Each structure stands twice: as C-alpha cells, then as structure tokens.
Amino acid sequence: MATVDKIRNGLIDKILSINDKDFLEALDKLISSSTSQSEIVSLTKEQKEMLQMSEGDIENGRLISHEAMVKRNLEWLKEL
C-alpha cells in the first residue's frame, strides 16, 4: 500500500506545480470520468441470463477464437 501512497503523493506534487488552466481542466475531466466508471452497474434480468449462458459456454468448451469469428463474419458478409 505504501506504493499507492507514494504514487498519489508524487501526482499531487506534480499537479501543484502545473499552472496551465486548460491542462488542469483536462486532467480534472480525465480523473472525473475514470472515477465515474467505477460505479456499480445494475444489470437487467436478461443481461444476467446472457452472462450465465456465456459462463456455461465457457465451462462446456463452446468457444471460438477471435480470428475464427472474424473469418466467419467476413464470410457471412460476403453472402449478403
């Protein structure tokens, strides 16, 4: 945990030395957006069911690689 404190204190020191208002506003937006992303997201019943189905697919080995999926999609698009 000492590392987190060290990083935080280093950032505070750097921020205190910045005089560019635009830069500080941009940094504020960046920090604000990253903290809002850590909020808890409520899932719908359907989303939870889809996640459970996905977990079942993983457990039962029903997987396809990204490359194979891209190839499959390109072939499907050619058929249209």
Instruction: Map out the domains of the chain as residue ranges.
Output: 2-36
CA distance 44 to 69: 27
Residue 41: per-residue pLDDT: 79
pLDDT digits (tens, 9 = 90+) for 20-79: 999 999 999 988 876 555 667 789 999 999 999 999 999 999 999 999 999 999 999 999
Residue 54: per-residue pLDDT: 95
Reduced to 3 DSSP states, what percent helix, strand and coil does the chain have, rounded to the nearest 5? 75, 0, 25
Q: Could you tell me if residue 61 is left (phi over 0), alpha (psi between -120 and 50 degrees) or otherwise beta?
A: left
- Whole-structure pTM value: 0.42
